């Protein structure tokens, strides 16, 4: 079974530029998450999708971050404009079914450096 796919693996941009990350979850997984992991910290949830609907985006900085999952499969997370403090690893995760958040499967992440 293929795991969660993410691209790109690394991205370096200057502040105020825009950037986009892509995620393809495990086939059949209805729930998709985007997490931000700053160096030395645990992952922090940015947004949770159930199929193509948003379940929780309470910690998403909506003035600069946006995410979509149009067909209920793959997803894109965008930052525009980027700030220095956005430097982090952006992890995508998925799980089958709905409700609860246990047993997540993570991708390898996109490491973003904002200069």
The least CB distance from residue 48 to another protein, in Å, is 7
Among 4, 67, 79, 88, binds another protein (CB under 8 A): 4
Among residue numbers 12 through 41, which ones bind another protein (CB under 8 A)? 40-41
87 binds another protein (CB under 8 A): no
Angle at 93 between CA 52 and CA 73, to 5 degrees: 30
44 binds another protein (CB under 8 A): yes
Among residue numbers 53 through 82, which ones bind another protein (CB under 8 A)? 56
What is the number of other CB atoms lying within 10 angstroms of the CB of residue 48? Answer: 22
CA 75 – CA 11 distance, rounded (Å): 18
91 binds another protein (CB under 8 A): yes
The least CB distance from residue 54 to another protein, in Å, is 13
Determine phi and psi for 33, rounding to 5 degrees.
Answer: -125, 150
28 vs 63, 71, 94, CA distance in Å?
A: 31, 12, 10
Which residues of the shown chain bind another protein in the complex (CB under 8 A)? 4, 40-45, 48, 56, 91, 93, 99-109, 111
């Amino acid at each position: 079974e293929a795991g969660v796919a993410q691209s790109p693996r690394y991205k370096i941009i200057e502040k105020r530029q825009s950037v986009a990350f892509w995620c393809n979850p495990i086939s059949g997984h209805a729930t998709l998450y985007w997490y931000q992991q700053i160096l030395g910290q645990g992952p922090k949830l940015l947004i949770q999708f159930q199929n193509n609907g948003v379940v929780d985006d309470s910690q998403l900085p909506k003035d600069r971050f946006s995410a979509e999952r149009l067909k209920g499969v793959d997803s894109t997370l965008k930052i525009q404009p980027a700030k220095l403090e956005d430097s982090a690893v952006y992890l995508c995760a998925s799980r089958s079914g709905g409700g609860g958040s246990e047993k997540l499967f993570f991708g390898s992440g996109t490491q973003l450096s904002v200069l």
